[in-house]
């Protein structure tokens, strides 16, 4: 088999859409590009796949290096590889998406502070490459998985109230949800259990705290 015409121009990378919920908004993490092309523009974090590195391992590493977050939900989304998506070379990019609980979104200090930031999905700056399309697909996947899986539970911290879980659903779906029906649904899944503790905040009745029975596990339902 002869050498392909690739040799000096092909790159395989991962791009990661890192979602979190902050301040009652669905947000994602962007980094400012240091190099050409699109120098200075915002882009999805990601990295080049190393010679002996698995694809998910590459995404995990990029996530850790650029946010300091590890151990969060990470799933392959889609692979983008149209010629011309990078003006300088042919890039095949395996896109992942990650869900980060809101109690773990302090960015690693080593990352240059103004080079990384959280942005509300509804108010994104112009993005490099075809990253806008990747974000749109990730958002679509997230919304659709919400209705047939327990994926939203991955946004929760170690302990959470049912109202907080409901708020996550409402924010992602961008619509109100009935409280009694939601609780009936969430408890019937048998994926969460009360810790016995309560959370007191604000001038109102304290709320029961729950935890995931199987942290990191996402159930397909129905």
Partner DNA sequence: AATTATTAGTGTATAAAGTACACTAAATTT
Partner DNA sequence: AAATTTAGTGTACTTTATACACTAATAATT
Binding residue for DNA (CB under 7 A) from 36, 51, 52, 180? 180
Binding residue for a second copy (CB under 8 A) from 32, 33, 68, 92? 92
CB of 212 to a second copy, least distance (A): 24
Binding residue for DNA (CB under 7 A) from 140, 184, 213, 217? 184
Rounded distance between C-alpha atoms, residue 210 and residue 118, angstroms: 27
| Residue 116, beta-bridge partner list | 31
Binding residue for a second copy (CB under 8 A) from 51, 113, 126, 202? 51
Displacement of CA 216 from its chain's centroid (Å):
14
Binding residue for a second copy (CB under 8 A) from 71, 81, 125, 194? 81
Query: Beta strand pairing status for 25-32 and 116-120?
Result: antiparallel
Interface stretch with DNA, choices 81-89, 119-127, 132-140, 201-209 (CB under 7 A): 201-209
CB of 101 to DNA, least distance (A): 17
Half-sphere exposure of 211 (CA within 13 A, CB side): 9
CB of 86 to a second copy, least distance (A): 12
How many Cβ atoms are within 10 Å of 164's Cβ, its own excluded?
18
Using the rule CB under 8 A, is 4 a contact of a second copy? yes
- Residues whose CB is less than 8 angstroms from the CB of residue 183 and which lie 6 or more positions away in sequence, other chains included: 162, 166
Residue 70, contacted partner among a second copy, DNA, none, CB below 5-8 A by kind? none
Reduced to 3 states (helix: H, G, I; strand: E, B; else coil), residue 37 is coil
Q: Is 90 exposed, middle or buried (0-12, 13-18, 19+ CB in 10 A)?
A: middle
Which pair of tokens denotes residue 149? 């899986």
Using the rule CB under 8 A, is 87 a contact of a second copy? no
Binding residue for a second copy (CB under 8 A) from 7, 23, 106, 122? 7
CB of 171 to DNA, least distance (A): 15
Rounded distance between C-alpha atoms, residue 146 and residue 33, angstroms: 32
Under the rule (CB under 8 A), what is the footprint of a second copy?
1, 3-12, 35, 48-49, 51-55, 76, 78-79, 81-83, 90, 92, 94, 148
């Amino acid at each position: 088999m002869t050498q392909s015409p690739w040799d000096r121009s092909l790159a395989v990378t991962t791009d990661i859409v890192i979602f979190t919920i902050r301040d009652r908004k669905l947000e994602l993490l962007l980094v400012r590009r240091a190099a050409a092309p699109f120098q200075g523009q915002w882009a999805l974090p990601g990295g080049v796949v190393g010679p002996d590195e698995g694809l998910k391992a590459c995404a995990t590493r990029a996530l850790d290096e650029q946010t300091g977050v590890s151990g969060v939900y990470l799933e392959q989304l889609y692979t983008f590889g149209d010629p011309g998506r990078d003006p300088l070379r042919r890039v095949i990019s395996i896109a992942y998406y990650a869900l980060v609980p809101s109690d773990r979104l302090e960015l690693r200090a080593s990352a240059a502070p103004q080079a990384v930031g959280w942005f509300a999905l509804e108010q994104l700056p112009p993005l490099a490459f075809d990253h806008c399309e990747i974000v749109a697909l990730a958002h679509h996947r997230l919304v659709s998985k919400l209705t047939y899986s327990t994926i939203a539970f991955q946004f929760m911290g170690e302990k959470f109230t049912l109202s907080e879980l409901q708020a996550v659903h409402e924010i992602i779906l961008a619509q109100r949800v009935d409280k009694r029906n939601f609780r009936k649904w969430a408890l019937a899944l048998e994926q969460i259990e009360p810790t016995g503790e309560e959370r007191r905040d604000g001038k109102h009745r304290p709320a029961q705290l729950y935890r995931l029975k199987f942290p990191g596990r996402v159930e397909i339902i129905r």
